[in-house]
Structure 1
Amino acid sequence: MASKSSLCRQDCVGGVSSGMAGPATGTGAGGRRGTDTSRVSSVSSQFSDGPQHSPSSTHSSTPSWSEEPAQSNMDISTGHMILAYMEDHLRNKDRLQKEWEALCSYLAEPCSVAVAQEAANIDRNRHAEALPYDHSRVKLKHEVNPNKQDYINASFIFDHDPRQPAYIATQGPLPHTVADFWQMVWENGCTVIVMMTALVEDGEKQSERYWPDEGSSLYHIYEVNLVSEHIWCKDFLVRSFYLKNVQTQETRTLTQFHLLSWPGDGIPTSTRPLLDFRRKVNKCYRGRSCPIIVHCSDGTSRAGTYILIDMVLNRMAKGVKEIDIAATLEHIRDQRPGLVRTKDQFEFALTAVAEEVNAILKALPQ
């Protein structure tokens, strides 16, 4: 059992400076292959959202954004096409609005949420409008569930492999669903949790604390031991856990990445903290084949935005030559309704993709 003194609560090297890029989307691989670094730099400055703020004095003056992006097999012409779409969106203000309206009129099929609406499951949903589809919901093994139920408000999100979900999108656990949450973690072999919300925002509970503040706690048959808590910077922290099934005595380790800088009533003023956060998550996750659990309060808004950004950038990193961000959003909405709830969140996702592409292109040998 860990004691308070054994916890590793420390600041990382580096704050995060702010800056925001403009909206972008991209389709197709035919781009301008001959574009040079001067164009990339000019696009970058063109999308700057004012002067760069210096990081908080409590952190090192070396910004974490200076870390180079992970090695990428991104097709260069696709990357430049994304940047060309950035410019197009700046010139054509109506484009984004029309794209969002088309997304809002899209209807998934099948779209039944009947199981989530059953009387026995109503109180297991944090928000009545954020429910999992029947066909893609995560099912618990009812025989080991304390309530003998298989329902949890969570959805599998697949990318290209229909046999292996890339993510589980879920709500912040309720007081009476914490044990269900850990059962889901255990049964799906998850090793990474991405938490996109504070526990309380504006006086309203967004998620039950589903881990011990120190030492260990038992949630039904799952003993969760907090091993360490690293405050990487003012925007996020990282917790490490040992998870033990007390019935089988099997133990596992997992990591929770907790983003603190996304306001509950809007979007961040900069994409950079989120992109830096994502790099840390992917560095930990690399090479694993289990789904990443992503949750906010309702499991649709901030969680959906993170999944959209991560899926598009992962596709690009693998060298996919055609990127259609709106179509990718439709794809993930086929698996959980309401992912990316507002136009601002969609624009933020486009902006984040464009800014990361810009960083990757700058890091490539010219």
Structure 2
Amino acid sequence: MENPIIEGSCRERDISYKFLAEHTELSELEAGIPYKEFFFHSKARDKDLEFRVLKRITETRKHAECLVENSAMTCSMNRYADILPYKDTLVHVPGYSYINANFVDGACSGSEQMIIATQGPLHRTMEAFWAMVWEYEVSLIIMMCNLLEDGMVKCEEYFPSENNIQCDVFEISLAKSTNKYPFLIERVLIMTHVPTQETRIITHLQSTAWPDQGVPSLADEFSSINYMISLIKKKWLANRSKIVVHCSAGIGRTGVLVGIFNVVTALEELLEKEAEDENVEPRVSIFGAVRRLREQRWGMVANVKQYKFIYKFMEYWITSFLSHQQQIGQSL
């Protein structure tokens, strides 16, 4: 039986789902895999083929017609000319004409538009970025890139490292910086609206291990990714404030993290329901999770290597979960 947090259409426009509905032979790609069978299925699936299908059905002419036009105004505010946001999920910031950012739904119940997926700020878009953070009461920013990679600037240093940063009517200061994991920096930022002196505390996580267009060592980053997932959940559940996730373009590494978060939280919700009702079958659909992300921001999870990484992460996650459950059973 179809479950909207595992397989099925987005809340609003979903071009690729209509295509799947018309081609039942492909709809099996989205069908959820029972989590206890996931490892076997993951090894057996042709992920290269799956990703080719994903690109084919989510990068169509109809999708392109939904993108913001690459005008003279928007062009100067896009880090990459070919990475444009969808119009219907576009984030609007009062006082600013445009920002390359999209709202993305979480996978668990009641988590519509919980995530803002965006590009790494440019110098000219820093003010709009911080105005967006303030407008949507963002409590957590996750940065999935370095400022400089392979000699190329991937993101402006939009956050303070020592001195305070002034962005229009906002001042941002650094209260604390710690290395949570070898490649994960956690900063506590204080954002002040200067005219009113209202302040907010924002957590800033920067993961430095993910190469552009690539993936990190899962053995090294599994705990770090789990920490990011847990903090997203904690911040969202605390007050329903938006979560900003970005890398350089805001689709590759950003898409992988958001995809993993959605798959994990959807599975956790079903596992909780299974504990109350044995007729509930917890399932996983990597294809479905990524397909829906790509309907909300163009090109999310940019290549097959990143797509395979989500599968690999869930193999680790489910194996760890089942091992933990077995240990609990043995201790009773």
TM range (shorter): 0.7 to 0.9
Deviation track 1:169-209 (CA, whole Å, cap 9, x = no partner) reads 10000011111111111111111111110000011000000
Q: Is the 8 A contact 1:116 1:153 kept in 2?
A: no
Instruction: Name which of 110, 125, 128 aligns with 1:177.
Output: 125
Asked if residue 85 in structure 1 is aligned to residue 41 in structure 2, the reply is: yes
1:120 is matched by which residue type in structure 2?
A: M
Partner of 1:327: 288
- In the alignment, the residues of structure 1 paired with residue 156 and residue 146 of structure 2 have an alpha-carbon distance, to the nearest angstrom, of 10
What is the aligned residue count? 282
Alignment map for 1:131-170 (pairs within 5 Å): 131-142=84-95, 149-160=96-107, 164-170=112-118
Pairwise CA distance, 1:112: 3.4
Call closer, same or farther: CA 1:223–1:277 in 2, change over 3 Å.
same
Distance in 2 between residues matched to 1:237 and 1:312, nearest whole Å: 24
Does 1:188 find its partner at 2:136?
A: yes
**RMSD between superposed Cα atoms in Å:** 2.1
Give a deviation string over 1:322-351, Cα, whole Å, max 9, x none: 321111111111111111111111001111
2:73 equivalent in structure 1: 120
Deviation at 1:265, TM superposition (A): 4.9
Equivalent residue letter for 1:354: E
Q: Is the 8 A contact 1:116 1:132 kept in 2?
A: no
Aligned-residue identity in percent: 27
Change (3 A) 1:345 1:114: closer
| Counterpart code for 1:151 | Y
Q: What is the rounded CA distance, in whole Å, between the counterparts of 2:254 and 2:206 in structure 1?
A: 12
Q: 1:163 to 1:343 in 2, by over 3 A?
A: closer
| Contact preservation (8 Å) 2:67, 2:85 | no
Pairing 1:180-259 to 2, within 5 Å after superposition? 180-259=128-207
Separation of aligned partners in 2, 1:337 and 1:283: 26
**What is the alpha-carbon distance in structure 2 between the residues aligned to residue 195 and residue 221 of structure 1?**
23
**1:289-331 CA deviation, whole Å, 9 max, x = no partner?**
1222110000011111111111101111111623211111111
1:26–1:81 contact (8 Å) kept in structure 2: no
Query: Which position in structure 2 is the counterpart of 1:279?
Result: 226
Structure with higher Rg: it is 1
Shift in alpha-carbon separation, 1:214–1:178, aligned structure 2, 3 A: same
Q: CA deviation at 1:27?
A: 4.3
In 2 relative to 1, CA 343–193 (structure 1 residues): closer, same or farther, beyond 3 Å? Answer: same
State the match for 1:316 in structure 2: 267
Q: Secondary structure at the match of 1:252?
A: strand
Cα offset for 1:277?
A: 2.0
User: 2:274 is matched with which residue?
Assistant: none
Are residues 282 and 103 of structure 1, via their aligned partners in 2, closer, same or farther at CA, if it must alter by over 3 Å? Answer: closer
- In 1, Cα distance between the equivalents of 2:270 and 2:110? 20
CA distance in 2: counterparts of 1:259 and 1:336, whole angstroms = 21
Cα separation, partners in 2 of 1:235 and 1:327, compared to 1, 3 Å: same
Residues 343 and 87 of structure 1: CA distance in aligned 2, closer, same or farther (over 3 Å): closer
Distance 1:309 1:114 in 2: 25
Kindly indicate which of the two structures has a greater share of residues assigned to helix. Answer: 2
Distance 1:116 1:273, change over 3 A: farther
TM-score relative to the length of structure 2 = 0.79
- Amino acid in structure 1 at the alignment position of 2:44: D
CA distance in structure 1 between the partners assigned to 2:264 and 2:311 by the alignment: 11
Distance 2:312 2:175 in 1: 36
- Matched residue, 2:252: 301
> 1:296 and 1:116, CA in 2 relative to 1: closer, same or farther beyond 3 A?
farther
The one-letter amino acid paired with 1:276 is S
Instruction: Report the AA paired with residue 259 of structure 2.
Output: L
Amino acid in structure 1 at the alignment position of 2:81: A
**Deviation at residue 231 of structure 1 after TM alignment:** 1.5
Partner of residue 351, structure 1: 312
5+ long unaligned stretches in structure 2: 1-28, 272-281
3-state SS, counterpart of residue 151 of structure 1: coil
